Amino acid sequence: MSYLMSAVLGFVQGVAEFLPISSSGHLTLLQYFFGMSEPDQLFNILLHFATLLAVCIYYFQDVVEMIEEFFRGIAAIFSRRPAQGNPPEARRLVLLVIVGTLPLFVVMLVKDQVEALGSSPVFVSCALLVTGCVLFLSDRMAGGRKTARNATLKDVLLVGVAQGCATIPGLSRSGCTISAGMAVGFDRKFAVRYSFLMSLPAVLGATILEVKDVLGAEGGLPEGALPKYLLGMVIAGVVGYFSIQLVNLLASKGKFGAFAYYCWAAGLICLVLTLMGWTLVPAAV
């Protein structure tokens, strides 16, 4: 993999991780069309970690408050003093994120089978077409009023199921979870905020498990790969930060439908080119 390819993939990850167009799908298809016989799984994981850091920075205040309230909530459980009034919003948000993450434990049972789907450009192209349908429908949903104060555990569990389904390469995690949030009546801004905050434990956990597996299987980093990995990660993080701002703006105005047409076009073009056996270069970049 060249430095140019590293930069391109980092940019694509930063854009596609937050815009509802599936970062995993785009990384898979780009690596295929640029002649990489097998996707660089470790690099893809590190790019996802870089965009996780972008979420932490963008929602820094939320993250700090949630960490503080997590420990305060644990202390309150073991305290003999009865709770007074409603819990702080950040503490309730912690509970909502935990519940929304639970469906991923079911996905872990079929983790290898799900990851194997990412090696098929035909499947990923078809999944992009499905993502387009999800986004097209999301724009036609009326904005709700639920926030962290009044969202129910059932609501966030359904959003968590959507996140579990979006582990399938080609399905957009942000598109599926934000659409699911609006479907259960979330306020549009809260749907985006909850989607990204809910991604933190999911991506962090996946990063730890995948890095351990990949390094164990390959015996360490490929020779000379570290500078290229770092370049891609920096670009992914910086671009991802500004992409979050854009998603918040588009979601508040109900403008996700435009991405539906993009996903349909990208999925159809990639499907046709894949079936034709077309690539940009004959060998690995």
| pLDDT for 215 | 65
Task: Report the distance separating Cα 126 and Cα 180, nearest Å.
Answer: 20
DSSP code for 79: -
| Token pair belonging to 173 | 């995690």
> Does position 167 have pLDDT exceeding 70, yes or no?
yes
| pTM of the full structure | 0.84
CA 244: distance to chain centroid?
A: 12
> Which of 279, 259, 274 has the alpha carbon at shortest distance from 128?
259
Distant-in-sequence contacts of 250-255, Cβ < 8 A, 24+ apart: 251/178, 251/188, 251/189, 251/191, 251/192, 252/188, 252/189, 254/139, 254/143, 254/188, 255/139
Contact by Cβ (8 Å): 267, 133? no
| Token pair belonging to 161 | 């199921």
**Which of 68-82, 108-122, 174-188 has the least mean pLDDT?**
68-82
DSSP code for 238: H
* pLDDT range class, residue 285, cuts 50, 70, 90: very low
For 90-131, the pLDDT digits (tens) are 999 999 999 999 999 998 888 888 888 888 889 999 999 999
